[in-house]
Amino acid sequence: MLFAAERLMTSCHLSIDLVIGDVAITQGKSYWACCVDPSSYLVKVGVGLESKLQEWFQVPQDVVSPRYDPDSGHDSGAEDTTVEAPPPYAFLTIGMGKILLSHGSALTSRDPNGCTVPLPPRIGICLDYEQGKVSFYDAVSFRELWECGVDCSGPVCPAFCFIGGGALHLQELVDNKQERKVTIGGFAKLD
């Protein structure tokens, strides 16, 4: 069911609630943690270029669908010479008490080798702006769950997507232990 929910992000029109952090990261390393309610249907936790996050959620899903093929129709080979840039956002997909992981590929791919692991009590996100890398951790055991590149050519913001109702508690600053509850959908209102 979690794999099917992941495909919904790019294959049909859905109402998606997006929460973007109010502080953009422009340098250094940043770490924050959150607890996702295990009964949440589908929550995406991650980061993205501030300019691209809102653009992504305003574009009709057919444009980002795998059915859309930007190929010019000729075999010039020009498409093969481009260097693949890191994606403008990176999300860890969480739902129904599990995390969807893939092996060495972007989580938005349809990698049949993807697997699920149990949702830890707390997820840590570490963004290394200069390296253009984001890492996701089990914030209790500090075991790395997944790491990937992300475009850091501009301000990068923490971001959270909710489909079908969900809740999470965001720990803004790890050292002062202040928490803010964020809920969307069927559970409650956004605080």
Residue range 27-75, pLDDT digits in tens: 999 999 999 999 898 999 999 999 998 777 664 444 443 333 444 444 5
Q: How many domains does the chain have?
A: 1
In a domain, 183, yes or no: no
Q: Answer whether 162's CB lies under 8 Å from 42's CB.
A: yes
Beta-ladder partners of 157: 48
Residue 145 lies in a domain: yes
Q: Please check whether residue 184 lies inside any domain of the structure.
A: no
Question: Is residue 79 in a domain?
Answer: no
Query: Is 162 among the domain residues?
Result: yes
Domain CATH number, residue 42: 2.60.120.920
Q: What percent of the chain lies above the pLDDT cut of 70?
A: 60
Mean pLDDT, the chain, rounded, equals 75
**Which domain, by its residues, includes 23?**
16-59+86-101+116-170
pTM of the model: 0.70
6 backbone dihedrals φ, ψ, rounded to 5°: -65, -40
Per DSSP, which regions of the chain are E strands?
17-20, 29-36, 42-49, 89-95, 98-101, 115-118, 123-128, 133-138, 143-149, 156-163, 166-173, 178-184
3-state DSSP: the chain helix, strand, coil percent, rounded to 5? 10, 40, 45
Whether residue 159 contacts residue 89, with contact meaning beta carbons closer than 8 Å, is answered with: yes
